[in-house]
Copies of this chain bind each other. A is one copy, B any other.
């Protein structure tokens, strides 16, 4: 027997409809790409998003067509999202930090028909313009006065474009499982892979994000997402903030410490979210100038592990710090490190220990850790295994890739290696392709790297598994020394000794001039493995 509740599909554009109806005068403040601060509100965003829809339809864009954005966090980008999704087209957010060839590859793979771009990225797109076969038109997110001369096909200024629409348009109704947005993962191996979010998954993810132990903003809070709309669905904030009627402050292209500080301060921001490097420059700027942020209550930090000193710095300011973990395939929220019983009364180091974990999942995310054979491992806070996840906002497949990515229980393998503790707190210990498998046991390359980097002469450290005739794999520590500093193999190993289990100790140390990185700043271990493929341990015996 079915329930007798209304058929009310979970559609993304219902979110901006709701914001415009009940929170119409709530502000969206942007540091524009052109320079000045621009103020608008949800009622205006909604009106102009309808014009975007109207113009896309006039340009022939239909349900299921892909429309790319390559843009900073601004009100125009936000309007574009809702305008694209409102007619059932798919908003494909392109990460401008990728190499131009990768951008071209991704746009071609997605078969984007229209690209909306910020002024900043016009030169990059011009470089690869002739390779973008599917793109019929480029819309530059600016007004006519700022419109540059460009070779981009059928280019038009956004304001001029939507200026031709009267906004007399009604959004479409369709199945909530319709694709709404698309985001490619920039893996360290293989081609980028497209994650295809549905309207349903985005709405459910936003409801989850708005709970108190996740991002939890209200209509009386002010949110500044430093995390870009082009990065992992902007951690859902482009949906979750309008859903609650939260004032949004959009930093545009300036993500440096002083610029972020200025907006946090002048707009009385209560909640903000971004990656550790952003907070590092913010905290440095504040310390150097003895600045305070009396309105700031809550900082979400994800993308990579949050250093302990950074957690402490925010706590000392009276700010709640929420370490978060997720991935593009998870929309992206996976876990958040809120304090809960029995840990709520902790102080000092014990408190930092909990806040530094990746946290526990909200309802809607289920997890397990398994060995290589898929057998579930215990949640003792020590045993680590492959982290696998399930939920209504977790990917089941990639766009135009015919590979099953779920296990027999329907779980997606995150590619991370983690421990779970008895209270559900998860701690990432490694990537599964980087973990060193030594005699049937696993050694965390990340733990070794974090330890090695504590040596005063070490600038950066990477650990890879190298074949060993007896143990299968053993860890090789690759070190880049700080400029002008010196340290020997023995000095570094002695420094590490006693701080980890003896069998975790690297079998050797190799010194390099520079450690290679991906476009998004991750250590490129594939390149290191290539570089050291002929290497063999001095003490290895067949």
Residues of A within 8 A of B (CB): 1-8, 10, 14-15, 17-18, 21-26, 63-64, 90, 175, 177-180, 195-201, 204, 207-208, 210-213, 216-221, 243-245, 247, 331, 338-342, 344, 360-361, 363-364, 366, 390-399, 406, 410, 412, 422-424
Contact = CB atoms under 8 A, between A and B. Distances in A.
A196 B5 CA distance: 7
A425 to B, nearest CB: 9
A336 to B, nearest CB: 11
Contact of A361 (B22, B196, B247, B360): B22
Given A207-B204, A216-B212, A342-B25, A396 B5 contact: yes
Given A210-B210, A213-B218, 17 more contacts: A1-B90, A1-B179, A1-B196, A2-B177, A3-B179, A3-B199, A4-B179, A4-B395, A5-B200, A5-B393, A6-B391, A8-B364, A14-B363, A22-B423, A207-B364, A212-B221, A220-B338
A423 B212 contact: no
Given A1-B63, A219-B213, A18 B366 contact: yes
A178 B2 contact: yes
B243 A7 contact: no
Contact of A399 (B4, B247, B364, B366): B4
Nearest to A64: B1
Given A23-B424, A338-B219, A424-B23, A5 B366 contact: no
Given A366-B18, A424-B23, A6 B219 contact: no
Contacts of A2: 175, 177-179, 198
Given A244-B213, A363-B15, A197 B3 contact: yes
A207 B340 CA distance: 19
Contacts of A366: 17-18, 21
A394 B6 contact: yes
Contact of A212 (B197, B199, B217, B410): B217
A300 to B, nearest CB: 15
A221 to B, nearest CB: 8
Nearest to A90: B1
A25 B180 CA distance: 39
Contacts of A360: 22, 219
Contacts of A340: 23, 26, 218-220, 245
A211 B207 contact: yes
Nearest to A339: B220
20 contacts: A1-B179, A3-B198, A4-B195, A4-B196, A4-B397, A5-B395, A8-B364, A22-B423, A23-B423, A25-B342, A207-B364, A210-B211, A211-B244, A212-B212, A212-B244, A213-B218, A218-B340, A220-B344, A244-B363, A245-B340
B201 A5 contact: yes
Contacts of A15: 363
Nearest to A175: B2
B201 A424 contact: no
B210 A6 contact: no
A331 B200 CA distance: 20
Could you say which of A17, A90, A361, A364 has the most chain B C-beta atoms within 10 Å of its C-beta? A364
A328 to B, nearest CB: 12
Contacts of A410: 6-8
A220 B359 CA distance: 14
Given A22-B424, A207-B207, A207-B208, A5 B220 contact: no
Nearest to A335: B22
B245 A396 contact: no
A441 to B, nearest CB: 27
Contacts of A397: 4
B219 A8 contact: no
Contacts of A395: 4-6
Q: Give the top 5 A-B pairs by smallest Cβ distance, nearest first.
A: A3-B198, A22-B424, A219-B340, A1-B64, A207-B207
Contacts of A218: 211-213, 216, 338, 340
A4 B398 contact: yes
A395 B3 CA distance: 9
A6 B396 contact: yes
A375 to B, nearest CB: 18
Given A216-B216, A220-B341, A424-B21, A390 B211 contact: no
